Amino acid sequence: MDRQRILFVCAGNICRSPLAEGIFRHLATEAGRSLEFEIDSAGIGGWHQGERPDRRSVAVAAGHGIDISSQRARRIASSDFGRFDLILAMNQDNLKNLRKVAPADLHGKLHLFNALALGSNKDIPDPYYGGRDDFEAVYTMLLAGCSALLPRAGKALWGS
């Protein structure tokens, strides 16, 4: 069985993309579809490489029954563009930066998370400089997007 490989990307891979990875993995597991996917996350920059997700992301996820504490931040690698079927950027700036470094023939794999999941060009805001409420709001946005994405994920939608 071919697995759909999905990569969630934000700036530093400690707030939004680890939450998206954890939420999507949790939803896929609950739906009995975990074997259909390879799910990962990465950052545009390597500032936090090797670190755990932000403690506030960990706490918000845990509050919803999702454990992301074992994830470690990493910078997107050139090999990721060939390896993953779908690369979802959390905001327009992340998407622009991905397009700068991705091979041109693989740009079709790059999408704004909300555009693909919900048909909206709205960014997932970076909660890093905010408080708990900002992280909860981001969790809610990511849950809505991942919930919409999961039923549509697979070969029929993206031709992987």
Residue with tokens 């918000």: 60
User: Which residues form the domain of 55?
Assistant: 4-158
Token digits of residue 26: 């949790």
Q: Of the residues 16, 25, 85, 146, which is catalytic?
A: 16
Number of domains in the chain: 1
Q: Taking the chain (160 residues) in consecutive chunks of 10 residues, what is each chunk's mean pLDDT?
A: 92 98 98 96 96 98 98 98 97 98 97 96 97 97 98 62
Q: Looking at residue 44, which CATH number applies to its domain?
A: 3.40.50.2300
Its pTM stands at 0.95
Residue 16 appears among annotated catalytic residues = yes
Residue 134 appears among annotated catalytic residues = no
Q: Of the residues 10, 25, 56, 123, which is catalytic?
A: 10
Alpha-carbon distance of 71 to 107, in angstroms, equals 26
Q: Of the residues 15, 25, 126, 146, which is catalytic?
A: 126
Residue 15 appears among annotated catalytic residues = no
Predicted confidence at residue 2, as pLDDT, reads 84
